Amino acid sequence: VLLERIRDLEARYRVPVFATGDLNCGKNASQGEEPYQWLNERLVDIRLAAEETTDAFTHHVYPRRDENNVYHATWKAPHNILDHFFVTENPNVQLHSFSVDNSAVSRCSSDHSPMIVTATVQGE
């Protein structure tokens, strides 16, 4: 379904399409890596294609609440890559960088860390 929507947008607007999110799959993921591999064969994994990149994990233990109901990052470091950032193959896209924010602040907000992509899209 995801790939169908991406291809629809790409054809309708003749633009590159970026897709990202928690896909709950990847290398060493308990859910397996088959869905990731399938998408990676059809789209560009920005983590792998960017000029500057990182192999930082994107998933970690969920933050815990203290007695005042305030979230705190756990001491456990991120330990898996379940989130991915793809783009359709397009010569007008230049992928400059891919990074992951694993700061304590970002770890307090979710059990997934933000992925940051810098890209240039040229065209009309």
Q: What are the mean pLDDT values of the chain's consecutive 10-residue runs (124 residues total)?
A: 95 96 84 89 97 92 78 64 95 97 83 94 84
Note the pLDDT of residue 105.
81
Using CA atoms, how far apart are residues 52 and 97, in angstroms rounded to an integer? Answer: 5
What's the pLDDT at 109?
78
**Centroid of chain to Cα 5:** 18
**Do 18 and 87 form a contact (C-beta atoms < 8 A)?**
yes
**pLDDT on residue 77:** 56
**Which pLDDT score, from 0 to 100, does residue 75 have?**
54
Q: pLDDT value at position 110? A: 82
- Write the Ramachandran bin of 41: left for phi over 0, alpha for psi from -120 to 50, otherwise beta: alpha
Burial (CB count <10 Å: 0-12, 13-18, 19+), residue 91: exposed
- Residue 53 neighbours by CB under 8 Å, 6+ apart: 47, 97, 98, 99
Question: What is the reported pTM?
Answer: 0.85
CA 69/CA 5 separation, integer angstroms: 39
Q: Other CB atoms closer than 10 Å to residue 10's CB: what's the count?
A: 15
* Residue 69: per-residue pLDDT: 78
